[in-house]
Amino acid sequence: MARQLSLLIKPVSADCNMRCKYCFYIRPGDPYRSEGRHLMDDRTLRTMISSYMKSAGKCASFGWQGGEPLLAGIDFFKRVAEYQQSYGLSAQLVSNNLQTNGLLLNDEWAKFFKRYNFFIGVSLDGPEEYHNAYRHALNGLDSFRQTMKGIQTLRNHQVEFSILTVVNDITVKKPAELFQFFIRNGLYHLQFIPCVEMNRETQEMKGYSLSVPDYKDFLCTLFDVWYNKGKPIASIRLFENILAVYMGIDPEICAFHNECGSYVVVEYNGDVYPCDFFVEEDWMAGNLLETPVHEMMNGPKLQAFNRRKIQQSSGCSNCEWNFICHFGCQHDRLVNGMNYLCEAYREFFSYTQKRFHLLKQALST
């Protein structure tokens, strides 16, 4: 069965009102870095929505990301909702997910998100001292209090949201503290993203990246506090996806699929790429103003990228845990084909196997 294709759209490209030190978009390889301000024009927006919804099937899934997507302005997103309603097929479901740093959230935005059922991801790296370590506004000020204010605004308007935390060299050593902070603040829907940024020429990790031993300890300790004697009180995306695998359900996380290709990235000007980690000239598949996205998906560039996930792997095929991670994420690959995080995941899968089976049994009875 073909996997549902979703769009990850960068309406303002990598433009942002913050300068996070670990941001992987702030690098010389960004094809759009030398340009001025970016904003998707109306022709590109209308073409993207109309052509995608015609081929999306029963569910059209839009993800809005940056940079900071709210810089596009609320009138831009009002047109998004208008075009989705105009071009949607009969009985077609539409989902909108938007990732934000929270600094621009206000009552007007929250009312709009509530009206059109947007699901919001808010970037928050934990308590103030950890969040502010690498996440700074353009004016150099710390961002923690503004982000927390934005979260409260979403709550005030009953907007559904989750928290995205980057696990860097600092936070990787604080799993229990992070978890307790989130629970204490009533934040129960959590996603933890490992910070793995390397110099591709030297294969050396950048200073804010986590180490493999630390990440293994992070995952095991986080699981311990989350497990709660078989009755978790919070949703952690990674753990729930692993549990889905044990239960025979196709996981949501793209890194756990046999091939890439569950989504494509659409840049502000309509250029299409296979992954937000690979917005690079070599991997541009085309432009949706010239070629529909569903045609590009079957084209040689994206097909080659999707198959590359398996072809690059070394030692994965015979690994007892490959049924979970399926070769891991291409972004985390070293030059020798090994996944940088492989050993951390191996030890974590072994450490948690029995308890995942217990959770499976509890949900199956």
Known active-site residue 42 = no
Q: What pLDDT is stored for residue 326 in this prediction? A: 87
In this structure, the chain runs to a length of 365
Distant-in-sequence, close-in-space partners of 54: CB < 8 Å, separation ≥ 6: 87, 89
Per-residue confidence in pLDDT tens, the chain, 365 aa: 345 789 999 999 999 999 999 888 876 667 787 667 899 999 999 999 999 999 898 999 999 998 999 999 999 999 999 999 999 999 999 999 999 999 999 999 999 999 999 999 999 999 999 999 999 888 777 899 999 999 999 999 999 999 999 999 999 999 999 999 999 999 999 999 999 988 777 778 889 999 999 999 999 999 999 999 999 999 999 999 999 999 999 989 988 888 888 899 999 999 999 998 888 888 999 999 999 988 998 888 888 888 887 766 667 778 899 899 888 888 888 777 788 899 999 999 999 999 999 999 999 87
Q: What pLDDT is stored for residue 298 in this prediction? A: 85
Compute the distance between CA of residue 339 and CA of residue 322 in angstroms, rounded to an integer: 12
DSSP symbol at 169: T
In sequence order, the β-bridge partners of residue 204 are: 199
Q: What pLDDT is stored for residue 311 in this prediction? A: 66
Query: Which tokens is 188 given?
Result: 């129960």
Q: What pLDDT is stored for residue 224 in this prediction? A: 98
Number of CB atoms found within 10 A of residue 62's CB = 22
Residue with tokens 């989130």: 182
Q: What is the DSSP string of 171-200?
A: GGG-HHHHHHHHHHTT--EEEEEE---EET
Strand order through the sheet with 235-236: 235-236, 189-194, 161-167, 119-123, 93-100, 59-64, 6-9, 263-266, 271-273, 286-287
Compute the distance between CA of residue 174 and CA of residue 276 in angstroms, rounded to an integer: 27
- Catalytic site residue from 214, 217, 276, 332: 276
Compute the distance between CA of residue 101 and CA of residue 69 in angstroms, rounded to an integer: 9
Q: What pLDDT is stored for residue 1 in this prediction? A: 38
